[in-house]
C-alpha cells in the first residue's frame, strides 16, 4: 500500500526553457489530488515526471522512500486516448499486465473477475473494444490499471473527450473504485467541476514557468453524488477556483 509521494523543489526544463519550478507537494496514500490550471502550465509534464517519463533537472520525486528514476509498475497511467488493445477482448486486455508480471493463471482469473465487477463490465468480458462505447473503453483502461495493484494511478484528462452524461457516470464510478481499493491518484483535468467533485485537494498551477499557485482543500467529504454539483456551496467554490485560475 502506498504511504507517501513527495515532490521536493522539483524543476523541469527543456534546454534553456524552464517548464516547472519549485514544485513542493506531498500526497498521502488514498488521496485523490487533482491538478488544474490554464493550458501550458505544465500539468501533464508534472504527471509524466511522477510517472518517470520526463527527467527532472533538480529536486527529487520520492515514492514510499524510493526515488523515482524512471517508469515502473508501481505507477500506471490512464490517458485521454484509448489505450486498449483492439485485437484483444476486454478480459484479455485486463489480464495483459498480470501475464507480464507472471501471475499464476488461477490468480489472474480471480483478479480479472474482481476488476470486471469493480467497473461493472462483467457482462462485456468477451467483447472486443470495437463493440464498446467510449465510456466502456475508459472503464477497461481503469480496470487494467487497477489489476496490477499499482501504488498510484496517474490520470491524464481521461474523460476529456466524453459527453457530459458519460463523464459524470465515470466520475462517480472512479470515486467508488478508489474508495473500495484505497487507490491513490494524481488526476489532471481542465474541468473545474470534475476537479471539485473528485479531488480531496486541488493543486492550481500557474504559468511562466509552471508553479504551484494554490492548494485547495475540498470540503465535501466522502460518498459524493452528482447532486453535489447542483449545491450552492459547490457552485460558489467553483467560481472561486475559476477566479484563481484566471
Residue 1 has pLDDT above 80, yes or no: no
Output DSSP code: residue 227: G
Judged on CB neighbours under 10 Å (0-12, 13-18, 19+), 95 is buried
| Radius of gyration, alpha carbons of the chain | 18
Q: What is the pLDDT of residue 222?
A: 87
> Which residues 6+ apart lie within 8 Å of 219 measured at CB?
233, 237
> Which residues 6+ apart lie within 8 Å of 59 measured at CB?
7, 8, 9, 10, 11, 23
* Across 20-48, average pLDDT: 95
pLDDT tens digit string along 122-161? Answer: 999 999 999 999 999 999 999 999 999 898 999 999 998 8
Peptide bond into 14 cis (omega under 30): no
- In order of their start, the domains of the chain are 1-71+169-246 (3.40.50.300), 75-149 (no CATH)
pLDDT tens digit string along 155-170? Answer: 999 998 889 899 999 9
Q: Indicate the pLDDT class of residue 80, thresholds 50, 70 and 90.
A: confident
Residue 116 has pLDDT above 80, yes or no: yes
User: Residue 30: phi, psi to the nearest 5?
Assistant: 90, -5
* Across 35-45, average pLDDT: 92
SS3 76: strand
pLDDT tens digit string along 185-204? Answer: 999 999 999 999 999 999 99
* Across 14-34, average pLDDT: 95
Q: What is the pLDDT of residue 189?
A: 95
69-73 long-range CB contacts below 8 Å, 24 or more apart? 73/97, 73/101, 73/148, 73/150
Which residue's entry shows cell 526544463?
Answer: 13
Residue 214 sits at the vertex; the CA angle it makes with 210 and 216, to the nearest 5 degrees, is: 135
pLDDT tens digit string along 63-72? Answer: 999 999 899 9
Query: How long, in residues, is the chain?
Result: 246
Output DSSP code: residue 229: G
pTM: 0.93
- How many Å apart are CA 41 and CA 83, to the nearest integer? 25
* Across 221-244, average pLDDT: 93
CA dihedral (41, 47, 48, 52) in degrees, to 10, reads 140
Q: Indicate the pLDDT class of residue 218, thresholds 50, 70 and 90.
A: very high
**Strands of the sheet with 58-63, listed across from one edge:** 17-28, 4-14, 58-63, 66-67
SS3 85: coil
Amino acid at each position: 500500500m502506498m504511504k507517501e509521494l513527495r515532490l521536493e523543489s522539483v524543476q523541469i526544463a527543456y534546454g534553456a526553457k524552464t517548464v516547472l519550478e519549485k514544485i513542493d507537494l506531498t500526497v498521502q496514500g488514498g488521496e485523490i489530488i487533482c491538478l488544474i490550471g490554464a493550458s501550458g502550465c505544465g500539468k501533464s509534464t508534472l504527471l509524466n515526471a511522477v510517472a518517470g517519463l520526463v527527467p527532472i533537472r533538480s529536486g527529487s520525486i520520492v515514492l514510499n522512500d524510493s526515488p523515482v528514476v524512471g517508469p515502473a509498475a508501481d505507477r500506471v497511467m490512464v490517458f485521454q486516448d484509448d489505450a486498449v488493445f483492439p485485437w484483444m477482448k476486454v478480459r484479455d486486455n485486463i489480464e495483459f499486465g498480470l501475464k507480464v508480471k507472471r501471475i499464476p493463471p488461477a490468480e489472474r482469473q480471480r483478479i480479472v473477475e474482481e476488476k470486471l465487477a469493480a467497473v461493472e463490465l462483467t457482462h462485456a468480458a468477451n467483447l472486443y473494444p470495437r463493440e464498446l462505447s467510449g465510456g466502456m473503453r475508459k472503464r477497461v483502461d481503469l480496470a487494467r490499471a487497477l489489476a496490477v495493484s499499482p501504488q498510484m494511478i496517474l490520470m491524464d484528462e481521461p474523460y476529456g473527450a466524453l459527453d457530459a452524461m458519460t463523464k459524470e457516470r465515470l466520475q462517480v464510478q472512479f470515486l467508488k473504485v478508489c474508495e473500495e481499493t484505497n487507490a491513490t491518484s494524481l488526476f489532471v483535468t481542465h474541468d473545474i467541476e470534475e476537479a471539485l467533485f473528485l479531488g480531496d485537494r486541488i493543486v492550481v498551477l500557474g504559468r511562466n514557468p509552471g508553479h504551484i499557485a494554490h492548494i485547495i482543500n475540498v470540503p465535501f467529504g466522502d460518498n459524493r453524488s452528482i447532486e453535489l454539483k447542483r449545491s450552492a456551496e459547490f457552485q460558489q467554490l467553483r467560481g472561486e477556483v475559476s477566479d484563481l485560475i484566471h
